[in-house]
């Protein structure tokens, strides 16, 4: 019998991992996929051999630099739940990609290195999650190594993030003696992730725990647990869902400890697909009609096919292969003939995907970041953000004959979110903007490889860029016409003001009180 829509939606968990580089995100991802080994989603995906393609190649630049440039999604099943794990680039030069990805998740796992505590990138990403009220589950990794005291780690989370903590598991032993996890809430232990089922024990004094510890650590463990039970908060669902409290799990992704505890927690307490704000109304996840939005475009996933994949988050209903959807930006229909699910190393044509799922839609440039797809309703999801670039450059082209080709190529790169493109009002050459310098390297490499366009970048006379608007359209027009040489249009033809430095921006903002200068623009 086909699964009911509401049931299918209720078992989806869509999340991302946030962490500082080296905390263990990659290792944890691998283990989640390993334990969630299911490649086949029962009844929903039919793997057809000829349709399975190996995701064989990432961009060359990624290999050369050994960093993850692209964001992707991995779907796996564990217990009764279907998980969509959205990967985010580790390098901060691609931060805008990460922020866009976080608009498509319902929860996040924060991975902390047990020896290092809260590091700068973790803090930054946490702040983004907080802005969006994304509930966070904490995984304290590397307990098999020399680490800080668990109480100290909990305290640091509370102090630095102003976030309440509720330890759900506790490490049995540390460093060399780390030998499993004790669940404070239901008094069970796992000796490692090889234990599929946890074992019920008789409290922290249980003989099974004592046997796992060297003799001189046993009393200390019991005392620690008494203190934890007295001093730590119990888990509270409402505080967690509102983003005020994080349940904390301890483990070692490398040595297979605590990963099952974590997946089960995501299944048990992680939020199901949320209702999504749109311009005209809130869309409930279990509505019959399909709605979705594009949060990521990725090109060159397979060098043999020059395809472009738009990653869409399904917000409501069921996306079915072969259905016609309305692309609300243009009003035109788009045929979803080959939506795809992504797994660890392969992709598979999806026959149907439910609210919460993330699927890739191959296309040749029809879809842009921020696009909304519906079954006909005139409705736009907002909130896929565009960040004011911190680096602005003019693109210098060796061969002037190719100016038109360059224009097209830049337009495409901008639609994919590789760079932002600004066209000056005064007719001078286009300006590209990026958040991190590595994005310029990616642009250069791709223009060369895909369009045979060798380019260089030269300094623009601007370093600050802000989207401008005003309630009084006449005032906006006056500002634009008196600053013509410093105004450009973005991809959507929205005006931006370019200034040589912050001082210049502040000076104008002081003089033009009715003009709003924005550093973040929501798409659409």
Find the Cα–Cα–Cα–Cα dihedral 374, 17, 43, 355, rounded to 10°. Answer: -20
Q: Which of 11, 12, 13, 25 binds ligand GDP (CB under 6 A)?
A: 25
Q: How many residues does the chain have?
A: 524
**Residue 265, interface with ligand GDP (CB under 6 A)?**
no
Q: Number of helices and strands (H, E) in the chain?
A: 14, 34
Q: What are phi and psi of 164, to 5 degrees?
A: -70, 150
DSSP conformation class of 66 = T
Is 97 a binder of ligand GDP (CB under 6 A)?
Answer: no
Does residue 253 bind ligand GDP (CB under 6 A)?
A: yes
One of 3, 10, 21, 321 touching ligand GDP (CB under 6 A) = 21
> Does 186 belong to an annotated binding site?
no
Q: Could you tell me the smallest distance in angstroms from the CB atom of residue 512 to ligand GDP?
A: 45
Q: Is 145 in the site for ligand GDP (CB under 6 A)?
A: yes
Cβ atoms of 130 and 210 closer than 8 Å:
no
Contacts of 325 (CB under 8 A, 6+ apart): 290, 292, 319, 333, 334, 336, 373, 374, 375
Q: Is 144 in the site for ligand GDP (CB under 6 A)?
A: yes
In the complex with ligand GDP, the residue whose CB is nearer, 132 or 176, is 176
- In the bound state with ligand GDP, the residue whose beta carbon lies nearer, of 194 and 400, is 194
Q: Which region, judged by CB under 6 A, interacts with ligand GDP, from 137-145, 297-305, 430-438, 495-503?
A: 137-145
Q: Is 20 annotated as a binding residue?
A: yes
Task: Indicate whether 150 belongs to the interface with ligand GDP (CB under 6 A).
Answer: no
112: contact with ligand GDP by CB under 6 A = no
Q: Does 254 bind ligand GDP (CB under 6 A)?
A: yes
- Phi, psi (5° rounding) for residue 327? -90, 105
What are the tokens at 479?
A: 């500002």
Distance CA 271, CA 347 (A): 26
CA–CA separation, 163 and 450 (whole Å): 46
Asked whether residue 372 is marked as a ligand-binding residue, the answer is no
Q: Is 23 in the site for ligand GDP (CB under 6 A)?
A: yes
Secondary structure string (H, E, C) spanning 111-126: EEECCCECCHHHHHHH
Cβ closest to ligand GDP, residue 248 vs residue 253: 253
Question: 145 with 224: CB under 8 angstroms?
Answer: no
Q: Residue 152, interface with ligand GDP (CB under 6 A)?
A: no
Q: Is 87 annotated as a binding residue?
A: yes
Closer residue to ligand GDP, CB minimum distance, 81 or 142: 142
Among 8, 39, 84, 90, binds ligand GDP (CB under 6 A): 90
Q: Does 18 bind ligand GDP (CB under 6 A)?
A: no
- Cα dihedral 76, 81, 82, 85 sign: negative
* Residue 251 or 389 having the CB closest to ligand GDP: 251
Confirm if 12 and 274 have CB atoms less than 8 A apart.
Answer: no
How near is the Cβ of 467 to ligand GDP at its closest, in Å? 33
Helix, strand, coil abundance in the chain, percent, nearest 5? 30, 30, 40
Q: Is 25 annotated as a binding residue?
A: yes
Tell me whether residue 413 is annotated as binding.
no
> Is 21 marked within a binding site?
yes
Binding site for ligand GDP (CB under 6 A): 19, 21-27, 90, 141-142, 144-145, 252-255
Q: Residues marked as binding?
A: 19-26, 87-91, 141-144
Q: Residues marked as binding for GTP?
A: 19-26, 87-91, 141-144
């Amino acid at each position: 019998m086909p699964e009911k829509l509401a049931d299918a939606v209720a078992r989806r968990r869509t999340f991302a991992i946030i962490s500082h580089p080296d905390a263990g995100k990659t290792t944890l991802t691998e283990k989640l996929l390993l334990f969630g080994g299911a490649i086949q989603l029962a009844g929903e995906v039919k793997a057809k051999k000829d349709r399975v393609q190996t995701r064989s190649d990432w961009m060359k630049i990624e290999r050369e630099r050994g960093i993850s440039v692209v964001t992707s999604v991995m779907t796996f099943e564990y217990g009764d739940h279907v998980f969509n794990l959205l990967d985010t680039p580790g390098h901060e030069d691609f931060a805008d990609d990460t922020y866009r990805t976080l608009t498509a998740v319902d929860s996040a796992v924060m991975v902390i290195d047990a020896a290092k505590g809260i590091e700068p990138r973790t803090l930054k990403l946490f702040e983004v999650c907080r802005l969006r009220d994304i509930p966070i589950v904490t995984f304290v990794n590397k307990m098999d190594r020399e680490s800080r005291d668990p109480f100290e780690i909990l305290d640091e989370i509370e102090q630095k993030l102003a976030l309440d903590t509720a330890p759900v598991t506790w490490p049995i032993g540390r460093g060399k003696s780390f030998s499993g996890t004790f669940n404070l809430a239901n008094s069970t232990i796992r000796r490692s992730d090889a234990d599929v089922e946890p074992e019920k024990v008789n409290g922290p004094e249980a003989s099974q725990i004592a046997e796992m510890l060297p003799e001189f650590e046993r009393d200390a463990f019991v005392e620690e647990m008494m203190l934890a039970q007295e001093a730590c908060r119990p888990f509270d669902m409402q505080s967690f869902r509102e983003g005020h409290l994080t349940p904390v799990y301890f483990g070692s992704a490398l040595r297979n400890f605590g990963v099952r505890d974590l997946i089960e927690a995501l299944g048990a307490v992680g939020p199901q697909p949320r209702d999504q704000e749109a311009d005209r109304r809130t869309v409930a996840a279990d509505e019959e009609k399909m709605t979705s939005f594009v949060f990521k475009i990725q090109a060159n996933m397979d060098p043999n096919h020059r395809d472009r994949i738009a990653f869409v988050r399904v917000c409501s209903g069921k996306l079915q292969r072969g259905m016609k959807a309305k692309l609300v930006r243009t009003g035109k229909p788009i045929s979803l003939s080959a939506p795809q699910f992504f797994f660890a190393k392969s992709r598979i044509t999806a026959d149907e995907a439910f609210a919460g799922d993330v699927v890739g839609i191959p296309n040749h440039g029809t879809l842009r970041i921020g696009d909304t797809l519906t079954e006909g309703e005139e409705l736009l999801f907002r909130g896929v953000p565009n960040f004011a670039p911190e680096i602005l450059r003019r693109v210098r082209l060796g061969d002037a004959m190719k100016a038109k080709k360059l224009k097209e190529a830049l337009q495409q790169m901008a639609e994919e979110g590789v760079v932002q493109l600004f066209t000056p009002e005064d007719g001078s050459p286009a300006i590209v903007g990026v958040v991190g310098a590595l994005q310029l390297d990616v642009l250069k490499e791709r223009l060369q490889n895909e369009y045979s366009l060798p380019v260089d970048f030269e300094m623009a006379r601007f370093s600050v860029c802000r989207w401008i608007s005003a309630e009084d359209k006449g005032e906006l027009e006056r500002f634009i016409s008196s600053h013509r040489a410093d105004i450009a249009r973005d991809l959507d033809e929205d005006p931006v003001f370019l200034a040589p430095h912050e001082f210049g921006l502040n000076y104008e903002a002081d003089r033009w009180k009715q003009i709003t200068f924005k550093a973040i623009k929501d798409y659409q």
